[in-house]
Amino acid sequence: MSTDDVERFFRDCPADDSAASRVQTFLKRQHDSTGNLTRPVVCVTSGGTTVPLERHCVRFIDNFSGGTRGALSAENFLQAGYAVIFLHRRHSIQPFTKGLPSGQILDFLTSVLEPDEGPQQGVHVTESASELVSSCVQRAQEAAASGTLLRLPFETLFEYLKSLRAIAETLRPLGRHAVFYLAAAVSDFYIPWPQMVEHKIQSAEFGEGFHLELQKVPKMLGVLRRAWAPEAFIVSFKLETDEGLLITKATNSISKYGVHAVVANILETRKEVVHVVRPADTDNGGRTEIDRIARGQEQFIEKPLVDDVVRLHHRYLTAA
């Protein structure tokens, strides 16, 4: 895989460039009147990318991810004093909504019908859900008021990578104060736009079987690390279903792409245990296990995980 492949990917990429200006405006808000950065900035990616099979897209390949890890991590980075660019799959879980299942929104709203009864008329949150909803709404309002959360949606692999590049190039002047926390589930194969059929694939065109020809997506991690934002602190993610492959694959990501840490996890246990894998010459031989229960019975593992990443990032800042 060469830089030519990366060039070609972006040349053929159908997504627009709308993210760049929103990121620039957001970034200005993170500077004081004398132009000093007021807080570090993290780009949290979240949810799965889609790979269209037709240009007028009816069918697509998707990567399993509800976006819980990204959404909860974004909350914890805000809590830790970071500005957060939340690059997320459209309609995936948003920060401050965990515990509010979107499909059931009507289940916790209740309508009060009496007219002219002052402030209690209209729609209210049912009493049983009130405490949870109230906490979510308050924290979301705080983040909105402080201007430290930017939500950027994507749908396809094309939109995701184009936005990621725009964010990286915009954050480059921040040097070591920028963090990439790449929790999105990104497809590693796709159909390039020039090869993609125009219309819905007709089932009559295939007999009993159907062959789909996919190509590898150029690896962008190395390009992000070396070219787009060479000083940023980069944390990638590795999700596997086979325990035997997990740590080897995480270690390979470090040696191949030069990322600073890999969060490695197994599909079935990902809410309970994650491994933070680092270069072998760092402490603990470069491997820290984070266990939700062992770490003080946290409700969500993203709290100790983000704490650990923040600790590593601070060390990276002071080592400069």
* CA–CA gap between residue 166 and residue 26 (Å, rounded): 13
User: Restricting to residues 174-203, which ones interact with its own copies according to CB under 8 A?
Assistant: 185, 187-189, 198-200, 202-203
| Nearer Cβ to its own copies (13/100) | 100
CB 127 within 8 A of CB 194: no
Does position 226 bind its own copies by CB under 8 A?
no
Q: How far is the CB of 173 from its own copies (least distance, A)?
A: 31
Does position 133 bind its own copies by CB under 8 A?
yes
Among 19, 136, 186, 301, interactor with its own copies by CB under 8 A: 136
Does position 120 bind its own copies by CB under 8 A?
yes
Among 50, 148, 156, 253, interactor with its own copies by CB under 8 A: 50
Does position 9 bind its own copies by CB under 8 A?
no
Q: How many residues bind its own copies (CB under 8 A)?
A: 69
* CA–CA gap between residue 288 and residue 307 (Å, rounded): 13
User: Restricting to residues 200-219, which ones interact with its own copies according to CB under 8 A?
Assistant: 200, 202-203, 206, 208-216
CB 165 within 8 A of CB 10: yes
Phi and psi torsions of 151, nearest 5°: -100, 115
Does position 85 bind its own copies by CB under 8 A?
no
Q: How far is the CB of 134 from its own copies (least distance, A)?
A: 5
* CA–CA gap between residue 77 and residue 286 (Å, rounded): 23
Nearest residue to 264 via CA among 293, 282, 242, 296: 242
Q: How far is the CB of 54 from its own copies (least distance, A)?
A: 7
CB 87 within 8 A of CB 184: yes
**Per-residue CA distances from 136 to 96, 101, 129, 203, 292 (Å):** 5, 12, 11, 46, 22
Does position 122 bind its own copies by CB under 8 A?
yes
In this chain, which stretch among 32-40, 102-110, 223-231, 304-312 interacts with its own copies, using CB under 8 A? Answer: 102-110
| Nearer Cβ to its own copies (71/179) | 71
Q: Which two tokens stand for residue 150?
A: 């930017």
